[in-house]
Structures are given as C-alpha cells and as structure tokens.
Amino acid sequence: MPAQYIQIEKRPPLAVVIMDRPCVHNALGVAALAEIDAVFAQLREDPDVRVILLTGAGDRAFASGVDVSDLNSLSPRAGATFFLRAQETFRHLEMLGKPILACIRGYALGGFWELALAATIRIAADDARIGHPEVKFGLTAGYGGIQRLPGIIGRNAALRLLLSGESIDAREALRIGLVEEVVPAAELMVRAEQLALTIAGNAPLAVQATMQAVNELLDWRADQAMLRESERFGRLCGTEDKAEGTKAFLEKRKPNWKGR
C-alpha cells in the first residue's frame, strides 16, 4: 500500500523521510504510526541506506503534533494503549542501528516533535519553534519525551518546557542543548546532508556499535519508565480537564480548568 502521510526519497547512502501533510503543518494522527513503523523497518533492512534524514514537508513545520481531534476522542484505556504503541514505534527508531538526523524547520510541537527526540542528532533551521504544549490540553507528553528530554537538556530545563507549555526559538534550543546545530533555513537540508555523508563515510559496524554502546549507557531503565508514562497519559484522558482542554482548542477559546 502506498504511504499516505510519509514519503521516502532514497539518495544512497542516504534516505530522506518526509512527514507529508503540510496543509495542517504536518500534524499526524493515529493512522500515521503504522506508516512510520513500516517506513523505518524498510530502511533498517536496506543495505544501500547508511544514514536517514527526517524532516517535514513545506517550510512552515517539522511537525505540529498529534491531531487534537484524535486526542479529543481518546478514552483512558484507548489513550494508554495508543501511546504505548507510539512509544514502541519511537523506540524502534531510537534503536534502529542507523543514525537518524532530524532536520527541523518551523513549528516542532508535541507528540510528533518527540520523533526528533528519538533521533540521533537534531539540526534546526533558524526559524524553528520547539515546544511541548500538552499541559494546555490537560495532558502530558506521551511518546517517551518525558523520559528523553531530561537526558538531553537536564531536569530543570526539561521541566520548564513541559510545565509551561511554551515554545522556544532555535537559538534558545541550541543554548540549552536541545538541538546540536542551527543554520539558516535555506541551508538546512544541505548542511544535514553534509553531516550525514560524513557519518556514512565511516565504518558502518563501528557506527552501529557506537550507537549501541551509548544507548545501553543512557537507556537501561527506559522501557519501564515509558510504560508508566503511557499509564499516566491514559489516566489523564479520563479527566474533565482533558475534555475541556481539547474542546477549547478546537473551539479557539481559553480553557476553563476544573482540576478534575
């Protein structure tokens, strides 16, 4: 079946994976998860691909999160199940064995920004805006971001992003270590390809072993922690605040929180 939301451009030894829904700033819903899993599984087994670039179609967004209309209808059980599956998909990316370079332009928000957190390296255009707005919908980050973010930028910086729901610009993201490099928007893919080709020019078994060693050091408790993260997300899906937060967003008004 042809992909509906994800496109692949192969340029051996590289492949470019594009989240392709620019009409809604590359917001991706439940149906996109299976495509993401299938695309990266295909690239994992492709001997011609050594490094993968991940980006969003258009020039306004890397990814603007999950469709809020999908969130609005999630029950506690469905919420926990969906986000556990999403965590597994993103974990597959993180443990793929091939470097993934996230190329971030425009808005990078919420659940599908967490794709970039699971990537190996993040390069941002100077017009990028990055954030975790989940608390504005009465929810938490649910794709493993709560586990990855403190390891990338530290506990307090992670809490500032997660609790405020505010977005930051590319320079601030670079300052706190959320991205590794910032370049002019017009140069984003050129610079990413340069770095990808440098990595692809090294011994593939050595690159793979290096990634495995780093992942083993940093993620020895990740699976248990992510399970708890999905359970918390599921519980929040049953609250009045979650129903109000998603409804308020869709109705373009300020939410009226009840704390229950």
Which of the residues are catalytic? 114, 134
Q: What is the dihedral of CA 184, 102, 74, 39, to 10 degrees?
A: 130
DSSP 51: E
Query: Cβ(165)–Cβ(136) under 8 Å?
Result: yes
Answer positive or negative: Cα dihedral of 214, 82, 225, 66.
Answer: positive
Task: Give the residues across from 18 on adjacent strands.
Answer: 7, 55
CA neighbor of 176 nearest in space, from 144, 152, 145: 152
- For 58, the 3-state DSSP assignment is coil
Tell the burial category of 198 from Cβ atoms under 10 Å away from its Cβ (0-12, 13-18, 19+).
exposed
